[in-house]
Amino acid sequence: MGDQTLKDAILSHLKYSLGKDADHATIYDWRVALSLATRDRIVDPWFQSTRATYRAGAKRVYYLSMEFLIGRLLEDAMVNTGILDEAKAAFDGMGLPFDKIIHDEPDAALGNGGLGRLAACFLESLSTLGIPAYGYGIRYEHGLFRQRFDHGRQVEEPEDWLTQEHVWEFERPEAAFEIGFAGETFENGGRTVWRPNESVMAQAFDTPVIGWKGEWANTLRLWGALPTKVLDLGLFNRGDYAGAAEPEALARTISRVLYPDDTTDEGKALRLKQEYFFTAASLRDILRRFESEHSDLRDLPKKVAIQMNDTHPAIAGPELVRLLHDERGLPFADAMMVARGCLNYTNHTLLPEALERWSEGLMGHLLPRHMRLIEMINESHSQQYPGVTIIEHDQVKMGELSFVMASKVNGVSALHTELMKETVFKDLNGLHPERIVNQTNGVTPRRWLKTCNPGLAGVVTQAIGDGWVGDAEKLVELEPHIADSGFLERFTAAKRANKETLSNWFGTELGVKVDPSAMFDVQIKRIHEYKRQHLNILETIALWQEMRDNPNGDWTPRVVVFGGKAAPGYHFAKDIIYLINSVARVVNADPITSKLLKIVYPPNYNVTLAERLIPATDLSEQISTAGKEASGTGNMKFALNGAMTVGTLDGANVEIREHVGAENFFLFGMTAQEVWARREVEDHAGQAIAADPKLARALDSLRNGTFADGDHDRFRGIADNVSGPDYFLVASDFSDYWRASREADAAFRDPARWARMTALNTARSGWFSSDRTIRGYASEIWDALPPKPLRSIAAA
């Protein structure tokens, strides 16, 4: 590298790494060459970070997560290393389309939604803060499925991001562990030995994650599954080619697909195998690293903090005890103490159906030793603290197991943490009142403002300098500028430009023509009843009906945007998608309302699409039934990018409203306590419908075929659900939602007021940076804030 310019580095990679002549290079070739040149800039800080960590004998943080929803990496890496402008200039100079080149990168979707994206933001913040850390997960061959619409219905297709070379990773054939399953246990010389009868290799693939300013890089280490034996040559020579290849196929299955199910777990055995596979490999790697530097295993908690991202890596508790007790001979009680000293657990949901439980039968078969250790953990805990059990009705409750094995247990927003104490972990919290702490989620302002919204970021930087990028709480310095009409004009113009870009994209990609001066109203997230996309579409239907009644009324034109995938087996959610697309088809073709209302549902929502939509949003929909959304992180991204929120008092909405000010947030709906009380009211939905003719009419339109080519039954299921059981209280919250939405309309018609409110949202959202969240974890959970920023040691 040396003093080579970036352009030279790109050309050199094109020639020597890709073997391509510039005259014949494709967009793909240029993108890979640019990525390799960018990667080169990361390798030195990466090595320096590792060396500084060793030299300082620093504690390391290990983030164990089934999901890392990293998205594209190139642009973010160029921003953090500060070479974006140089790269653009190089391609402009060569007459090559820079935007097209960087948008050629596939979106790595190794996660389902918020939980996986949070893990990705955390990795970036850990590097920005210079905290020595590793992310550990699975290198899925197929990430989250690709979504397509066929006549309005969701169709899932396999995602194949690895068919192209993944330029960011380094394969580590030498970092591999054999991971066993099933088999038997026996006693030998006072120790329990587990002899599995099935095994696969876990092999490491490392991706460096560079922090802001390119000073520190941590590692995302993903495990790929390989067979222990490549080929059964005996079978092969006898002509049984399929049989000979079977061990390989079986092994690879483990890292083949990400489980897309948001509701229930299918293929239970395979999912449990995945969980054990990556957890066991990670723990062995962690112990190997510790033992290369230290000899006393009792010091492990001083040097190692492990975060279990939800219960998916919960088997880490018994596995670590097994490694310490069975394999290294620590007494059981000491092994328990050491394991607990290292482990912590984040809970991301209170939904009972999403709390993992494994049958004793399955656990006992796949992980016989672990099942026995879980019983021992359960016995030792209940001896000390009677009243709570980890095993119930022949099932292992992974939340309880994680809680018992953790030093700290955290929720992801203030409300969620309080509800955790009152509901799922009420008894355990009574026994261990110091264990539950809150760490409200955050998002990285590098990706979620600076990179995705360069226009607005530029306006901000022009006003207050670029200190906010590394310290988002500096965004409050914008407040005095809000009195300056010139600043507000630039702020609004940046949003307007983003809306124009998005409008063009809607036109060219989806064939929907929208007016960029309309209010862009956006709901993007997984499709789920508790998130209530059906409340949104019912309100949109009612709005359309009112607009048709009175097309010359004082309406605020709206473009209602949806994005999100439904779990393939979640039929109600898929019906909601079908309904939204069907309503869009009818409404978008209606000449009476064509200047007033459009509905757009781009397929295949992912990180890249979020980066496109969020900067162009005026109104962010955060409308879950109170008490159900643990935190939300999309809500933070929108506020940071100067969108207003219409939302309930749920998850982190509560804290967003506190920060941006109640007058800058459109609140509606019942509180969590009111939700519980309302469910007890007989026929609550019927009463709500009787009291609101607009809702009644919208529901009728679902039953009279308006959106179903005259078919009265197609959307009857949704209408009947909302009119009957309505567990998520769509009907009961409808009227207040309508009121808040019309208040938003009125505010939007006053551009000066709207501009002020949106700018205040940006100015006051700095607290929702994942840097703040990670500082909280580091000081309250991990005890891993480096004494003196290690970054300066690394840079020295």
What residues act catalytically? Answer: 348, 525-526, 531, 633, 637
Which CB atom, from 118 or from 338, has the smaller least distance to ligand F58?
118
| Among 88-96, 113-121, 359-367, 506-514, the segment contacting ligand F58 (CB under 6 A) | 113-121
**Helical axes 74-81 vs 27-56, angle rounded to 10°:** 50
Q: How many CB atoms lie within 10 A of CB 180?
A: 18
Do 307 and 346 contact (CB within 8 A), yes or no? yes
412 belongs to the binding site for ligand F58 (CB under 6 A):
yes
Number of residues that bind ligand F58 (CB under 6 A): 17
118 belongs to the binding site for ligand F58 (CB under 6 A):
yes
Mapping DSSP to helix (H, G, I), strand (E, B) and coil, where does residue 504 land?
helix
| Among 108-116, 168-176, 472-480, 551-559, the segment contacting ligand F58 (CB under 6 A) | 108-116
What binding mask, one character per residue, do residues 433-452 give for ligand F58 by CB under 6 A, x or -? --------x-----------
DSSP-derived letter for residue 145 is P
What residue number has its CB nearest to ligand F58? 114
Which CB atom, from 344 or from 378, has the smaller least distance to ligand F58?
344
Residue 181: CB minimum distance to ligand F58, A: 21
Among 64, 70, 74, 114, which residue sits at the site for ligand F58 (rule: CB under 6 A)?
114
Site residues for ligand F58, 219-278, by CB under 6 A, read 262
354 belongs to the binding site for ligand F58 (CB under 6 A):
yes
Which CB atom, from 626 or from 794, has the smaller least distance to ligand F58?
626
Which CB atom, from 175 or from 270, has the smaller least distance to ligand F58?
270
349 belongs to the binding site for ligand F58 (CB under 6 A):
yes
Among 53, 65, 80, 112, which residue sits at the site for ligand F58 (rule: CB under 6 A)?
112
Contacts with 512 (C-beta within 8 Å, 6 or more apart), sequence order: 506, 588, 598, 600
Distance of CA 501 to the CA centre of its chain: 26
113 belongs to the binding site for ligand F58 (CB under 6 A):
yes
Residue 389: CB minimum distance to ligand F58, A: 23
Do 411 and 323 contact (CB within 8 A), yes or no? no
Which CB atom, from 112 or from 620, has the smaller least distance to ligand F58?
112
Do 100 and 23 contact (CB within 8 A), yes or no? no
- Short-list 17, 118, 72, CA closest to 411: 118
| Among 107-115, 247-255, 535-543, 611-619, the segment contacting ligand F58 (CB under 6 A) | 107-115
651 belongs to the binding site for ligand F58 (CB under 6 A):
yes
Contacts with 777 (C-beta within 8 Å, 6 or more apart), sequence order: 61, 307, 410, 439
Distance of CA 754 to the CA centre of its chain: 30
629 belongs to the binding site for ligand F58 (CB under 6 A):
yes
Residue 629: CB minimum distance to ligand F58, A: 5
631 belongs to the binding site for ligand F58 (CB under 6 A):
yes
Dihedral pair phi/psi, residue 490, rounded to 5°:
-65, -40
Dihedral pair phi/psi, residue 179, rounded to 5°:
-115, 125
Distance CA 571, CA 576 (A): 9
| Among 330-338, 502-510, 630-638, 661-669, the segment contacting ligand F58 (CB under 6 A) | 630-638
Residue 183: CB minimum distance to ligand F58, A: 28
| Among 154-162, 624-632, 669-677, 688-696, the segment contacting ligand F58 (CB under 6 A) | 624-632
Do 564 and 605 contact (CB within 8 A), yes or no? yes
Find the radius of gyration of the CA atoms of the chain.
Answer: 27
Distance CA 179, CA 254 (A): 11
Contacts with 446 (C-beta within 8 Å, 6 or more apart), sequence order: 76, 79, 80, 124, 128, 212, 469
Residue 398: CB minimum distance to ligand F58, A: 12
Distance of CA 206 to the CA centre of its chain: 20
Which CB atom, from 281 or from 350, has the smaller least distance to ligand F58?
350
Residue 427 vs residues 27, 355, 420, 589, 739: alpha-carbon distances, Å: 58, 16, 10, 56, 40
Which residues of the shown chain bind ligand F58 in the complex (CB under 6 A)? 112-115, 118, 262, 348-349, 354, 412, 441, 629-633, 651
